[in-house]
Amino acid sequence: MSIKKKGSAEWQGSLKEGKGTVSTESGALSSSPYGFKHRFEGEAGTNPEELIGAAHSSCFSMALSMILGEAGLEAESIKTEATVSLEQDDSGFSIPAVHLSCVAKIPGADQAAFEEAANKAKEGCPISKLFKADITLDARLEG
């Protein structure tokens, strides 16, 4: 099985003064603005790191749901946040780390089983496999 999804971006102008838009094939994002000020100066709009964080959070949550289902468990809720670290050194910019923070309500699950499932999801979700960054995880089961 092979699934292909498309995202696109358009850029106009210089790095600092230019402006861009990002869109997805589904239309969930349609000409959403991004640029230097959005990425580095906190201006409203999106940026690549936030989009990566959203992609990683959603992928991890779905992978965790699948792994829980294989164990006969179903989540009432899975809330995941990915913090994507963009850093600059002498070689340029890189993303050396992503930290996943997950809080879930799963009837019938204990913390140990949940942590095992969460770690499998962290290692196995396709977005995690995409990165060479260090991916860390805090997983907490709510009562």
Q: Is the pLDDT of residue 77 over 90?
A: yes
Residues 6+ apart with CB under 8 A from 89: none
- pLDDT for 19-71, tens place per residue? 999 999 999 999 999 999 999 998 888 999 999 999 999 999 999 999 999 99
Q: CA nearest 140: which of 120, 111, 107, 99?
A: 111
- pLDDT for 83-107, tens place per residue? 999 999 999 999 999 999 999 999 9
Half-sphere exposure of 7 (CA within 13 A, CB side): 9
Domain 48-142: top CATH class = alpha beta
What are the residue boundaries of the structural domains of the chain, listed by start? Answer: 7-40, 48-142
Average pLDDT (113-139) is 92
121 confidence band (pLDDT: 50, 70, 90): very high
143 confidence band (pLDDT: 50, 70, 90): confident
103: number of Cβ within 10 Å: 14
Q: Is 12 left (phi over 0), alpha (psi -120 to 50) or beta?
A: beta
Q: What is the pLDDT of residue 102?
A: 97
3-state SS of the chain?
CCCCCCEEEEEECCCCCCEEEEEECCCCCCCEEECHHHHHCCCCCECHHHHHHHHHHHHHHHHHHHHHHHCCCCCCEEEEEEEEEEEEECCEEEEEEEEEEEEEECCCCCHHHHHHHHHHHHHHCHHHHHCCCEEEEEEEEEC
Residue 122: both structure tokens together: 């962290």
Q: What is the pLDDT of residue 87?
A: 93
Q: What is the pLDDT of residue 71?
A: 93
134 confidence band (pLDDT: 50, 70, 90): confident
